[in-house]
Homo-oligomer: A and B are copies of this chain.
């Protein structure tokens, strides 16, 4: 085993930084928005970039086509290696239509140590930090095979990932996986999730007419699809508290144990810091015990968007013909998305049978473990890189590929995330920063060494 010193990695990081920034800029400036078909050609450009990037570093690379967007896999092999470690990242991004962007979202702006642009922190910056750490390990001659899996459909719930995994199970054989797509609790405090919420996304559509009608002529008699959708949504949950009212769902959510709750409270979470990081004016409650459970360990019901009628300047006195809303539930164990959707669909049919309820995506929740040698290695690596022990917490987000890899690869899956809350996952002015990239290179380098040293 090679025990690379902090000084060695820092020298490497200093040397590689211009190349890291150049590569990050190249891929951030390809708008790989997976949810919107308008970006189809850009996603394929992103795939081409990933293939060319891996090959340019003498990494064997293969593009796996799927029913959706391709997956790019790279292999750094070592002749004496006895183990294969897989690093999972995704190269697709969220849309960036928010008016609050202060710079063009698909132009990477470098501002000192800060890199601004859609995808810088979620997940292109961490992906490249992990990649350049692997390159350092290869330069140092570490006897480890490293396999990169770069997905392009993570932001839409990984709809093709299971079929890709099953079809290529042999080729993708690995001894463990590390996922680098998660977020710390705050700047001073590394976090390693031991659970991820699942997710069910769906839309509600109601059409009661065929065109706008004058509200003075038909108002009173005409059904109003916006009003009826508002009614259905508030029949499904209580917006002020978040309480889910669709029958049967809350009972199936396993509540966190008191030990877990104590862990949440000891994690360094602070409600005011949380509000500041996310630009929130207020929360449903400021009690950290309630907030940490709400964001990490309880199911949510969320309206992501709603549209209907006239939304231009002034007023247009019409009854519109249709309204649409996009919603999701984040799911904790044991809420299974397909069963949850069945219950929601039945509820909609009972309450307003004219509403069309369509499933968009489904991800199962993930439950890992804070024990065992891989968790120990994560702990040691993060302390080595950042000088603080990580908290093992549940994370409120969802990474569809994790449950799939757990099922198909059947090996331990760990998380080394490099993002901070204020980096703005899915938010305007998303950014990443060099100190987290450099720290990530340190953490990954040590993690690789610890994995090699691990008894089989």
Contacts and interface: CB of A to CB of B under 8 A. Distances in A.
B315 A326 contact: yes
B309 A156 contact: no
Given A208-B281, A211-B98, A314-B360, A220 B303 contact: no
A316 B305 contact: yes
B312 A210 contact: no
A18 interface: no
A216 interface: yes
Contact of A95 (B97, B279, B312, B428): B312
A183 interface: yes
A237 interface: yes
A398 interface: yes
Contacts of A429: 211
Interface in A204-240: 207-224, 226-231, 233-234, 237-240
Interface in A178-221: 183, 197, 199, 201, 203, 207-221
Contact of A230 (B203, B233, B242): B233
B223 A314 contact: no
Nearest to A323: B306
A302 interface: yes
A285 B320 CA distance: 18
B281 A209 contact: yes
Interface residues of A, number: 105
A377 to B, nearest CB: 26
A285 B212 CA distance: 19
A328 interface: yes
A393 interface: no
Given A217-B278, A218-B295, A298-B220, A314 B36 contact: yes
In this complex, which of A36, A209, A293, A421 has the most chain B Cβ atoms within 10 angstroms of its Cβ? A209
Contacts of A34: 314
B220 A295 contact: yes
Contact of A234 (B230, B274, B328): B230
A150 B34 CA distance: 52
A100 interface: yes
Interface in A361-404: 361, 395-398
Interface in A26-66: 34-38
A94 B221 contact: no
A283 interface: yes
A319 interface: yes
A306 B303 contact: no
Nearest to A310: B305
Contacts of A352: 240
Interface in A315-358: 315-321, 323-326, 328, 330, 352, 354
Contacts of A308: 303, 305-306
A7 to B, nearest CB: 35
Interface string A285-302: 100001101110010101
A426 interface: yes
Given A226-B305, A294-B221, A307-B306, A213 B314 contact: no
B304 A215 contact: yes
A280 interface: yes
A311 B305 contact: yes
Contacts of A324: 311
Nearest to A216: B397
A360 B313 CA distance: 11
A135 interface: no
A169 interface: no
Contact of A326 (B94, B295, B309): B309
A352 B239 CA distance: 11
Interface of A: 34-38, 94-95, 97-98, 100, 155-156, 183, 197, 199, 201, 203, 207-224, 226-231, 233-234, 237-240, 242, 274, 278-285, 290-291, 293-295, 298, 300, 302-321, 323-326, 328, 330, 352, 354, 360-361, 395-398, 421, 424-429
21 contacts: A37-B313, A38-B313, A94-B317, A94-B318, A97-B312, A211-B427, A218-B396, A221-B274, A221-B284, A221-B285, A222-B284, A224-B239, A227-B233, A230-B306, A240-B352, A302-B319, A303-B309, A304-B317, A305-B309, A306-B311, A316-B326
